[in-house]
Structure 1
Amino acid sequence: MERLIPLCVAVALTAAGTARAGCGPVEPQCEIPGGSYEIALPPAATDTAGDPSPIPAVLFLHGHGGSAKGVLRMRGMVEAVTARGYAVIAPNGARRPNGPRSWSFLPEFQGRDDFAFLPAVVSDAAARFDIDPQNTVLAGFSSGAFMVNYLACDQPETFAAYLPVSGGFWRSQPESCTGPARIYHSHGWRDGVVPLEGRILGGGRFTQGDIWAGLESWRDTMGCDTHAPDRIWQDGELSLRRWQCGADAELVFELFPGGHMVPPGWADRVIDWIEAGAGPQAETD
């Protein structure tokens, strides 16, 4: 039996068979109160028995000035995710007055309440496309990664896991978070846009936080017995550290040699981690 997707149509097909679905015969953008999103579905949307089953998803937030369309043009990432049976949901950040699209993770940014908007995107996608909210993770790049961290801090139970790439907290960072979460943080050693040590922006009005300090904050939130990682390993050019502090309290830090980017192979690595549950297996050096 083929999956029936109400009120939407597949409007494009990549070479790998990824179905880009939409909410109308012409415009793929799905409108909800407060904003919009686009979605790419996996090539197979039924289980082995041929019956529909809910689809896990990666909700991926674009960077400052980006868009949902821009996320779905990241074909390598999108096709790797959908090939593993996950949908990619790409919401649009809200436009600020006379500015580009971005995310309101700090109160002084004002604008749309993205802490409410992003769960609403998942709820809408669940109704339209049979997305599984219980198996949806929140990922984001740059400004989107800052939003991932702040939502994980404020509402840790909203998503199954959190996957920030090239973004953490801003100064002054939260004194504490609501509860533990599962987090896989990726960052480039040569990142000059969001340096590991942070930087000052807007003539001193804003300060990107120190990534290391953000990791310390997460370890405190997770109740880790020690700040020392329980696993340290090398995977090619990647340097990784892992703190397992409980069933729903896990932090993996992946340091890659590049700059401000989503690193090659990221999608498969994070999905391996999601599906392993207890994190990637590796020997401590």
Structure 2
Amino acid sequence: MRYLICLIALCWALPAAAMGPWQRDTCHLDVPCVLGDRSYHVKEPDDWDGTSPMPVLIHFHGWQRTGALPVQHQRISGATRRRGVLLIAPNGIRKTWNMWYPETEDVQFAADVLADVMARYPVDPDNILVSGYSYGSIMAWRVACDRGTDMNIRALLGISGTISLSEECPQAPEEARHVHGLKDNVLDFPLGPQGETDYPARLWRDRLGCDDTVADTRDWSVVDFLTLTRTEWADCTDGTRVTLDIHPGGHFIPHGWIGRQLDEVLGRTPTYP
């Protein structure tokens, strides 16, 4: 499947570039791109030349929101537009997602959205990322669990929401990153059986073949009022990694978190914003 994705991207690169102005006029920001009876929103990066293949971040909105919010959200599109990343924000049916069980219609919708984006834009097939916040994070985990290999997902960026950590995912992203607040009272921090705070990383550590050796633990921040503690496991199959950031706060997208993950995944020097 990943070879098919690469072929689609190659075949559509020139037509997609040629239809750049048409794309902006028909669906951009709050005007959604129609896909059958569903839709999604798009935000192109700043200074895109109209032809170069772009990394893609598919971001799933939270409960009772729509894709119109992420493409105008400073902590989401504010990060992608400065880093050459094409932001895609699908719309859930009735402003939510069907993500509690494997292979729901929304999982197929996510795959269809990616295929449609590749038909409209020149896409870097080796840098396809999925993310989400709250219920949207659970949806992103679901897509990575069910279609991570088929969709060639480079990295999962989860924010304050996970699928059941007892699942055995048939597929996986190449890399998994997650952030969660210890005082989250909307989707509680998933502590381990003995209160372990590294438990949210367990599913992906097992699925990606990581041993129990912690490669790095450190505090970091981009704003003075919020410090995150990072734990990273890098001794995994195929040289991949699993990263967990925790913070003392509640249910929100931490300032600079998405931008920091994009910088690290794409091999850029971390900056803020």
Instruction: Tell me if TM exceeds 0.5.
Output: yes
Q: Which residue of 1 aligns with 2:96?
A: 102
Contact 1:152 1:181 in 2 (8 A): no
Percent of pairs with identical residues: 27
Match of 1:218 in 2: 204
| SS across alignment from 2:189 | coil
Question: What do you get for the CA RMSD once the two structures are aligned?
Answer: 2.9
* TM-score of the two chains, using structure 1 as the length reference: 0.75
Deviation at 1:62, TM superposition (A): 0.3
- The aligned amino acid for 1:215 is A
The equivalences for 1:81-230 within 5 A come to 81-95=80-94, 101-107=95-101, 113-157=105-149, 158=151, 159-170=153-164, 173-179=166-172, 181-197=174-190, 212-226=198-212, 228-230=213-215
Instruction: State how far apart, in whole Å, the 2-side matches of 1:276 and 1:186 are.
Output: 20
Match of 2:224 in 1: none
Misfit runs of 4+, over 6 Å: none
| 1:250 is the counterpart of 2:236 | no
Task: With a CA cutoff of 8 Å and minimum separation of 6, indicate the structure with the bigger relative contact order.
Answer: 2
Aligned partners of 1:154 and 1:177 also within 8 Å:
yes
Query: Is the Cα–Cα contact under 8 Å of residues 168 and 211 in structure 1 kept in the other structure?
Result: no
Write 1 or 2 for the structure with the bigger share of helix.
Answer: 2
For 2:161, the aligned partner's letter is: G
Q: Which residue of 2 aligns with 1:79?
A: 78
Following TM superposition, by how much is the alpha carbon of 1:212 offset from its aligned partner in structure 2, in angstroms? 4.7
| 1:242 positional shift | 0.4
Higher strand share goes to which structure? 1
CA deviations on 1:21-75 (whole Å, 9 max, x unpaired) are x438x972111124100101012222xxxx8221111111001111011212313
Superposition deviation, residue 6 in structure 1:
5.0
The reply to whether residue 33 of structure 1 matches residue 36 of structure 2 is yes
Residues 112-145 of structure 1, C-alpha deviations (whole Å, 9 max, x = no match): 6111111211111121122334322001001111
Q: 2:217 aligns with which of 232, 239, 255?
A: 232
The answer on whether the counterparts of 1:180 and 1:221 sit within 8 Å (CA) in structure 2 is no
Q: Which amino acid aligns with 1:234?
A: D
The unaligned stretches of length 5 or more in structure 2 are: 1-16, 222-226
SS at match of 2:252: coil
Deviations 1:132-191 (A, max 9, x none): 3432200100111111112212222221111010011237x3145435630110111221
TM-score normalised over the length of structure 2: 0.78
CA distance in 2, matches of 1:274, 1:148: 17
Q: Which has the larger radius of gyration?
A: 1
CA contact (8 A) 1:165 1:186 kept: yes
Structure-1 residue corresponding to 2:24: 10
What's the CA shift for 1:247?
3.3
